[in-house]
Structure 1
Amino acid sequence: MIGPYVNGAALVVGSVAGALIGPRLNANVRLKMPMVFGCAAMGLGVVMVIKVKFLAPVVLALVLGSLIGELIQLERLIQKAAGSARRLVEKVAAPVDGISQEEFLDKFVALLMLFSMSTTGIYGAMTEGMTGDPTLLIVKAILDLFTAPIFASTMGIAVAVLVVPQFVIQAGLYLGATLILPLTTPDMLADFSACGGLIMLATGFRICGIKQFPVASMIPALLLVMPLSWVWATFLG
C-alpha cells in the first residue's frame, strides 16, 4: 500500500508549510487561489459527470443520499468534529486570525470532500488495491501538496487533521477493493464517477462562495449509486 501514505504525507506537508508561511503569503494569493481551486473542482466534476451511463439512478442516489444525510444531520456532525479539531489544534498552536468560526466550519466541510472523499481518491485507492498501481493517488497527492498550503495559510494547521479521514477512507477502500471491484461493472463505475462528479461540482461552488451546497449531506449518495445503477441496468436498462 503506497498511495494512501503518499497522499497523506503530501496533505500533512502542504498543511504545515501553509500554516508556517501563511502570515508572509500575499493576501491576494490567499484570497483568490481558493477560488481557482474551486473552479478546478467544478471542472473535474463536469469531466466526471459526462461519464454517466444511467442518469436516473445517479439522480435518485443523489436525492436519497442527501435526504439521508439531512435526516441524520451529517453535515452538522462533521462541523461539530471540525470545531473540536480546531480547538484541539489551537491548544498547541497559535489561533487562526482573520477567519470566523462559521467560515472555518464551512471551508472545513468543503475541504473534507475535496481531500478525503473525491472520486479520484476513492477510485484511486480501489484501483491500487486491485492492481497494485498507485498512479492515481500519487497524482492526487501532487494536487493536494499545492492545494493544502493555500487553505492552511488562512485556516491554520487544523487542515492537517483531514489526513485522518483521508487515510482511513483510502486504506479501507484499498483493503476492501478485492471484495468490491469484482462485484462492479463498467457501467456501475461510470455512474459512481458521475455521482462523485456532481458532489465535486457542488464542492467547487461552495469553495468559491457561490452557493453553500450541503456537500457533506450528499456523502451517502456514494454508497447508494452503484447498487441503484445495477438495479436500473438489470431491470430497466
Structure 2
Amino acid sequence: MIGPFVNGASVVLGSLTGASMGNKISENLRTKMPLVFGVSSMGLGIAMIVKVKFLPAVILALLVGTAIGELLHLEDYIMKLASKTRGFIDTFAKPAEGITHEEFLGKFVAILVLFCASGTGIFGAMNEGMTGDTSLLMVKSFLDLFTAAIFATALGYSVATLAIPQFVIQGSLFLLATKILPLTTPFMIADFSACGGLIMVATGFRIAGIKPFSVANMLPALFIAMPISALWVRFMVH
C-alpha cells in the first residue's frame, strides 16, 4: 500500500508548508492558484467522464444519489463537523486574519471532498489494491500537495487534519478492493469513474469560486453508480 501513504503525506507536507509561510506567499499567488486547482479538478474529472460506458445510468445514479444526499443533509453535517474542527484547531493554530466563518466552512468542505471523497482517490485506492497501479493516487498527491499549501495559508493547520480521514478512507478501500472489484465488471468500473468525474467537475467549480455546488450531497451517487450500471446492462442493453 503506497498510494494512500504518499497522498496523506502530501496533504500534511503541503499544509505545514502553507500554514507556516502564511502571508509570505504573495496575495496574487494565493488568489490565482485556486483557479488553477479548480481547473485541474475539472480536467481530472473530464478525463474520468470520457471513460463512461452507459451515460444514462451514470446520470441516473448522480440524480438519485444527489437527491439522497439532499434529503439526508450530508453537507450540513459535514459543515457542522468542520465547524467543530475549526474550534479545536483554533486553540493552537489560528487561520489567517480576515477570513470569515462562512468562508472557512465553504473552503474547508470543498477541499474535504477533494481530498477525501473524490472519484480519483476512491477509485485510485481500489485500483491499486487490485492491480498495484499507483498512478492515479500519485497524480492526486501532486494536486493535493499544492492545493493544501495554498489553502493552508488561509485556513491554517486545520487543513493537515484532512490527511487522517483521507488515509482511513483510501486505506480501507485498498484493503477491501480484493473483495469489491471481483464483483464488478469493466463497464461498472468505467461508469463509477465517470460518476466520480462529474462530482470532481462540480468540485472544481466550487474551488474556483464559479458555482457553489453542494458537492458533499452528491457523494451518495458514488455508492450506487456501479449497482445502477449493472442493472442497466441487465435490463436495458440487448
Normalising by structure 2, we get a TM-score of: 0.96
- Alignment partner, residue 15 of structure 1: 15
Q: 1:128: Cα distance to partner?
A: 1.7
Amino acid at match of 1:78: I
Evaluate the alpha carbon distance shift between residue 132 and residue 42 of structure 1 in structure 2; reply closer, same or farther with a 3 A threshold.
closer
Evaluate the alpha carbon distance shift between residue 14 and residue 40 of structure 1 in structure 2; reply closer, same or farther with a 3 A threshold.
same
- Alignment partner, residue 140 of structure 2: 140
Asked if 1:178 corresponds to 2:181, the answer is no
Q: Distance in 1 between matches of 2:122 and 2:186?
A: 16
- Alignment partner, residue 127 of structure 1: 127
Asked if 1:50 corresponds to 2:50, the answer is yes
Amino acid at match of 2:221: A
Show CA shifts across 1:144-167 (max 9, x none): 112210111111111111112211
Give the superposed CA RMSD: 1.2
- Alignment partner, residue 205 of structure 2: 205
Aligned partners of 2:22 and 2:96 also within 8 Å:
no
- Alignment partner, residue 29 of structure 2: 29
Q: 1:135: Cα distance to partner?
A: 3.3
Q: 1:5: Cα distance to partner?
A: 1.2
Q: Distance in 2 between matches of 1:26 and 1:32?
A: 10
- Alignment partner, residue 6 of structure 1: 6
Q: 1:107: Cα distance to partner?
A: 1.1
Amino acid at match of 2:189: L
Amino acid at match of 2:156: G
Q: Distance in 2 between matches of 1:134 and 1:50?
A: 21
- Count of residues paired in the alignment: 237
Show CA shifts across 1:12-61 (max 9, x none): 01001000111111001111110111111112212211211111111111
Q: List, as ranges, runs of 4+ consecutive aligned residues in structure 1 with deviation greater than 6 Å.
A: none
Deviates more, 1:123-132 or 1:23-32: 123-132
Unaligned runs of 5+ in 1: none
- Alignment partner, residue 191 of structure 2: 191
Q: Distance in 1 between matches of 2:193 and 2:161?
A: 26
Q: Distance in 1 between matches of 2:80 and 2:186?
A: 37
Q: Distance in 1 between matches of 2:37 and 2:208?
A: 8
> Once the two structures are aligned, what percentage of the paired residues are identical?
60
Normalising by structure 1, we get a TM-score of: 0.96
Q: Distance in 2 between matches of 1:39 and 1:106?
A: 18
